[in-house]
Structure 1
């Protein structure tokens, strides 16, 4: 009597799905002068060795949309949350993130300039070896988002409470904390210069 090999069917189905996802990745294909509007499918494709320039993401959430070795220039994210979409070896400039929560997205070896976060909470998004300049957080609370070997300059935190987000070897220059209470977020070997704290109480930090 023949038997149905369910495990074999599962393996075949998984292999097919994995292959399909990999085929949808954007590899060695620059993305230029376009807008993704209400397009989560495209926004969720991994971007590998594919620079993005003058690309707007509007109401296009991303899931598993990794960005690897693909610099971003003038890429606003508006109403476009990102989950499980790490940024690795990916410099980015002029990338405002507005009304776009970000979760489980590590930023590694990815320096940035002028990338403000506005009304965009962050959860579990460590910045590692990714210096940032002119990257303020405004009304963007965050948690479990440490800075590790990530200096900041001209990047104030405004009305953005945070917790469990230590700074390790990450000095801040010409920046400050304004109306942003924080807890369990020590600064370890992160002494900067011209750093102002205003109305930002701390607990266990």
Structure 2
């Protein structure tokens, strides 16, 4: 990262504030940083160092009946084996907020963008995502139902092995969001153009694509049934 990007991620008042690390990183040249990264990767490969839960990680700690309002620090903590139920995220952007095996139930996400926050083995039920863009946020093995996306653009947010029912995308354009091995039902796209988002082995049932032009997004092995396409021109798809 450039120095201004380091300030944004690790500087004062940021989600990952770490002044000591910031000072050290800024004192290193680009070749020194590259060598440090390669050294760390090598040490991990030879088990000289290992990953451990950080002090603020949420592990085996269910979260219930909580409202996270203007609280980016809390929602940016990795959450592992910790169900989240009957909570809300409002005006709380997240970065590095990884979710692993932590089901969500009735958790509205409102004006809370998420970046670099992959989700794995994490079912979702009744989780409306409203005015909350997602970037570099893949969903893997995350089945869900009744999770509407409204005014929430997606960039590199693929759905892989994450079947959805009653999960419409409304005014939600997306790019680089392939749908792979991911059946969909009753999940229409409305006013949601998309590009570079192929559908692979992901049949769709009883759904529609309405006023949603798309490009470079072919469908392979994804026939399904009762799919209506209305006023949605395609290009190279």
Instruction: Using structure 1 for the length normalisation, give the TM-score.
Output: 0.90
- Partners of 1:20 and 1:61 lie apart in 2 by 25
2:202 aligned with 1:154? no
The structural deviation recorded for 1:20 is 10
CA distance in 1, matches of 2:146, 2:176: 23
Q: Deviations over 1:8-53 (max 9, x none)?
A: xx98xx9xxxx99821110000000010000000010011000000
2:108 to 49, 73, 76: 76
CA distance in 2, matches of 1:21, 1:108: 21
**Residue 110 in structure 1 maps to residue 150 in structure 2:** no
The one of the two structures with greater contact order (alpha-carbon pairs below 8 A, sep at least 6) is: 1
Aligned twin of 1:143: 175
State the number of aligned residues.
Answer: 193
Q: Larger % of helix: which?
A: 2
Please state whether the residue corresponding to 1:23 is helix, strand or coil. Answer: coil
2:99 matched to which residue of 1?
67
**Alignment correspondent of 1:55:** 87
After superposition, the CA RMSD in angstroms is 1.9
**Aligned counterparts of 1:26 and 1:95: Cα–Cα separation in 2:** 20
Distance of aligned partners of 1:150 and 1:20 in 2 relative to their CA distance in 1, 3 Å threshold = closer
Q: Distance in 2 between matches of 1:133 and 1:82?
A: 22
**How big is each residue's C-alpha offset from its partner over 1:143-187, in whole Å with a ceiling of 9 and x where there is no partner?**
000000000000000000000000000010000100000000000
> In 2, distance between residues paired with 1:105 and 1:169?
21
Find the residue that maps to 1:150 and give its secondary structure: coil
1:165 is aligned to 2:206: no
Instruction: Name the residue aligned to 1:128.
Output: 160
Alignment of 1:18-37 (within 5 A): 22-37=54-69
Of Structure 1 and Structure 2, the greater strand share is in: 1
Deviations 1:64-123 (A, max 9, x none): 000100000000000000001011000010000000000001100110000000000000
